[in-house]
């Protein structure tokens, strides 16, 4: 008997969402705010609640063609329009086009009297008229404290809040309601967070004299979401949220090999370079030529016709160009051609989030194929190690997703050893190079080695290198009794090897002469023996000839009388 599998159940519908258009926020909320439902935005003064709500409306109009209504209870429409004009948001222009309705409700708390029959019918009528006027899909109410600040009856507050939220749901508008933080509660009244479908908390904190803003989604009915605290910043273009979980490890990779800019270093890799889109880390102590190696890589990329972005945290652009010219790396022509752009600033100019957003903005504007950050160690001055790691993790992932080859330099402190970086991103790098001082015989020399290179074999040697008028030059490995020899020891070893070679050559020449003499003696001996042999041979031949002559003579005498004819005298 066979059994058939039951048919798979159809997937359940997901909660519809309204994208905010704010960079990073849609990724945290996995698509945006709940469509047709109210969202509570809570935070202290100066954290950007009003700005986030206005950007939600403006992005809805410009990016998603959804008209909106902004109802404010504190600032007037003219004040809000002037405040956000510096961010490029033209509220009056959108209002003139019928895409946005601005309404300022003046609330005088001194004239409010709490009564059991108090309701918000007047507000509903006024808000409903504004929604109908532009056909709004989005609404922002800023802020509720101005409306409910004069009431202290919790039952009345909860009832009217529930009526307000239900009324907004019935109208089907996606709403952001801003509220101030309270003592021991997310809001001052402590009620709004319970009746809201989505609650987002904004925080503005100062740590070690550095201001940092954080965003957290406290709850989101009917949807999963990022639960961590995420840094965000307010830039000249609006709000940018920087979620750590926004980038997944599903990006494409390249098999193309590109040069490091140093011929000898390329030869240390079996494939003569590293993969395009790799993240490369060069770590080492001060004065070990990390910046020079980074500049060589940038120059080589530009010479291939690739746009390169160089972030310098220790030197100005002109100083970097001047210094690199002394070692044969002329960056000025590629800067003039527009292939290389140097962005120089002190890390303390901005916080970590601002630096990350600045890098993102420059990447979007310049569209480079390669990026250099020199050095990442200085970022520790504007954030904790954990925050720096998080920022660099997001940056590396962003560069990998866009297939941009990145090179980072990192200063290694003596207390951490030669192969450890405070930032702790070595595990994220695809290629890790270390440069170090090689001390010996009263001098210091520079050495380079490859600690790892994902996806390819590489040399395990420590190579000495020089900064010459023609750039970085890797020297051949010279081995001595105690290992690799560098600097003056290398020259002494070469002189010793030359003397040994000369002595060996002299010894070979002496042995060659001795062999020649022995050959001559041997040849003379052979000649003497040959002469003696010939003499003996000649004597033997002479003896043989004499013996043969004697033999013939004896034979002639023996046969002479017998062979004479007999004669008779004649009568």
Separation between Cα atoms, residue 258 and residue 260, nearest integer Å: 7
Q: How many CB atoms lie within 10 A of CB 419?
A: 14
Q: Quickly tell me which residue has 């030059």 as its tokens.
A: 473
Return the higher-pLDDT residue of 184 and 340.
Answer: 340
- The answer to whether 54 and 22 have CB atoms below 8 angstroms apart is no
Per-residue pLDDT tens digits for 412-462? 875 444 445 555 678 889 999 999 887 766 678 888 999 999 999 999 888
CATH homologous superfamily of 17-241 equals P-loop containing nucleotide triphosphate hydrolases (3.40.50.300)
Q: Residues 156-171: what's their mean pLDDT? A: 83
Q: What percent of the chain has pLDDT over 70?
A: 79
Question: Helix H segments across 326-446?
Answer: 332-336, 352-366, 385-401
Q: Which residues have C-beta within 8 Å of that of residue 471, sequence separation ≥ 6?
A: 262, 296, 327, 328, 329
Task: Categorize the per-residue pLDDT at 116 as very low, low, confident or very high, splitting at 50, 70 and 90.
Answer: very low
Q: Residues 532-545: what's their mean pLDDT? A: 84
- Angle at which helices 154-171 and 121-134 cross, to 10°: 20
**What's the pLDDT score for residue 393?**
82
Return the higher-pLDDT residue of 158 and 74.
Answer: 74
Q: Are 17-241 and 258-475 the same fold in CATH?
A: yes
Find, among 169, 370, 160, the residue nearest to 254 by Cα: 370
Task: Categorize the per-residue pLDDT at 190 as very low, low, confident or very high, splitting at 50, 70 and 90.
Answer: low
**Exposure of 456 by Cβ count < 10 A (0-12 exposed, 13-18 middle, 19+ buried)?**
middle
Task: Using the predicted structure, report yes or no on whether residue 359 has a pLDDT greater than 90.
Answer: no
Question: Helix H segments across 40-112?
Answer: 49-64, 77-85, 91-96
Task: Using the predicted structure, report yes or no on whether residue 138 has a pLDDT greater than 90.
Answer: yes
Most confident of 9-23, 105-119, 207-221, 535-549: 535-549
Separation between Cα atoms, residue 490 and residue 441, nearest integer Å: 11
Q: Residues 545-560: what's their mean pLDDT? A: 79
Kindly state the DSSP code that residue 269 receives in the 8-state scheme: B
Distances (CA, A) of 229 to 225, 294, 356, 406: 12, 34, 16, 27
Class of CATH domain 258-475: alpha beta
Would strands 463-468 and 443-453 be described as parallel, antiparallel, or unpaired?
antiparallel
Task: Categorize the per-residue pLDDT at 224 as very low, low, confident or very high, splitting at 50, 70 and 90.
Answer: confident
Question: Helix H segments across 65-206?
Answer: 77-85, 91-96, 121-134, 145-148, 154-171, 192-195
Q: Output the furthest CA–CA distance in the chain (Å, rounded).
A: 213
Per-residue pLDDT tens digits for 465-484? 989 988 899 887 665 555 56
Q: Supply the mean pLDDT for the chain.
A: 81
- The answer to whether 130 and 69 have CB atoms below 8 angstroms apart is yes
Task: Using the predicted structure, report yes or no on whether residue 139 has a pLDDT greater than 90.
Answer: yes
Q: Residues 487-496: what's their mean pLDDT? A: 63
**What's the pLDDT score for residue 143?**
80
Residue 209, φ and ψ in degrees, nearest 5: 65, 20
Q: List beta partners, residue 33.
A: 18
- Every domain of the chain and the residues it spans: 17-241, 258-475, 478-521
Per-residue pLDDT tens digits for 16-26? 999 998 878 88
Would strands 483-484 and 479-480 be described as parallel, antiparallel, or unpaired?
antiparallel
**What's the pLDDT score for residue 517?**
87
Task: Using the predicted structure, report yes or no on whether residue 259 has a pLDDT greater than 90.
Answer: yes
């Amino acid at each position: 008997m066979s059994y058939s599998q039951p048919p798979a159940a159809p997937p359940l519908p997901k909660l519809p969402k309204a994208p905010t258009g704010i960079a990073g926020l849609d990724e945290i909320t996995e698509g945006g705010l709940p469509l047709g439902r109210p969202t509570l935005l809570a935070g202290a003064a100066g954290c950007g609640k009003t700005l986030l709500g206005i950007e939600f409306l403006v992005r809805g109009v410009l990016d998603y063609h959804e008209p909106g209504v902004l109802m404010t209870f504190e600032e007037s429409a003219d004040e809000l329009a002037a405040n956000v004009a510096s961010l490029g948001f033209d509220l009056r222009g959108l209002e003139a086009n019928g895409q946005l309705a601005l309404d300022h409700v003046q609330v005088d708390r001194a004239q409010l009297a709490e009564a059991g029959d108090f309701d918000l019918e007047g507000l509903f009528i006024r808000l409903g008229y504004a929604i109908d006027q532009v056909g709004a899909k989005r609404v922002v109410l800023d802020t509720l404290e101005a409306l409910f600040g004069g009431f202290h009856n919790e039952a009345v507050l909860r009832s009217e809040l529930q009526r307000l939220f239900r009324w907004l749901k019935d109208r089907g508008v996606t709403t952001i309601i801003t509220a101030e933080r309270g003592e021991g509660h997310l809001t001052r009244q402590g009620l709004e967070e319970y009746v809201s479908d989505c609650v987002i908390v904004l925080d503005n904190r100062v740590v070690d004299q550095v201001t940092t803003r954080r965003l957290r989604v406290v709850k989101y009915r009917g949807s999963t979401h990022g639960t961590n605290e995420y840094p965000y910043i307010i830039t000249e273009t609006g709000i940018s949220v920087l979620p750590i979980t926004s980038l997944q490890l599903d990006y494409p990779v390249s098999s193309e090999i590109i040069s490091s800019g140093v011929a000898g270093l390329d030869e240390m890799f079996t494939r003569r370079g590293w993969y395009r889109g790799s993240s490369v880390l060069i770590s080492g102590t001060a004065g070990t030529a990390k910046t020079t190696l980074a500049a060589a890589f940038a120059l080589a990329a530009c010479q291939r016709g690739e746009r390169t972005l160089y972030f310098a945290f220790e030197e100005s652009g002109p100083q970097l160009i001047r210094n690199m010219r002394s070692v044969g790396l002329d960056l000025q022509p590629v800067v003039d051609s527009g292939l290389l752009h140097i962005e120089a600033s002190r890390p303390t100019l901005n916080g970590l989030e601002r630096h990350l957003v600045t890098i993102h903005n420059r990447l979007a504007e310049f569209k480079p194929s390669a990026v250099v950050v020199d050095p990442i160690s200085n970022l520790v001055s504007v954030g904790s190690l954990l925050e720096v790691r998080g920022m660099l993790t997001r940056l590396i992932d962003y560069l990998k997703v866009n297939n941009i080859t990145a090179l980072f330099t990192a200063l290694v402190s003596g207390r951490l050893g030669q192969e450890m970086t405070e930032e702790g991103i070595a595990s994220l790098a695809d290629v890790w190079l270390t440069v170090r001082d090689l001390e010996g015989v009263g001098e210091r020399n520079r050495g380079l080695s490859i600690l790892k290179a994902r996806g390819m074999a590489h040399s395990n040697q420590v190579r000495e290198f020089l900064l010459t008028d023609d750039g970085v030059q890797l020297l051949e490995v010279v081995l001595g009794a105690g290992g690799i020899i560098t600097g003056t020891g290398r020259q002494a070893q070469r002189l010793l090897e030359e003397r040994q070679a000369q002595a060996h050559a002299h010894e070979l020449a002496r042995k060659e002469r001795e062999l020649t003499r022995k050959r001559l003696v041997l040849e003379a001996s052979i000649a003497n023996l040959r002469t003696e042999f010939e003499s003996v041979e000649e004597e033997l031949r002479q003896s043989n000839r004499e013996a043969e002559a004697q033999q013939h003579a004896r034979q002639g005498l023996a046969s002479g009388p017998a062979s004479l004819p007999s004669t008779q005298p004649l009568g």
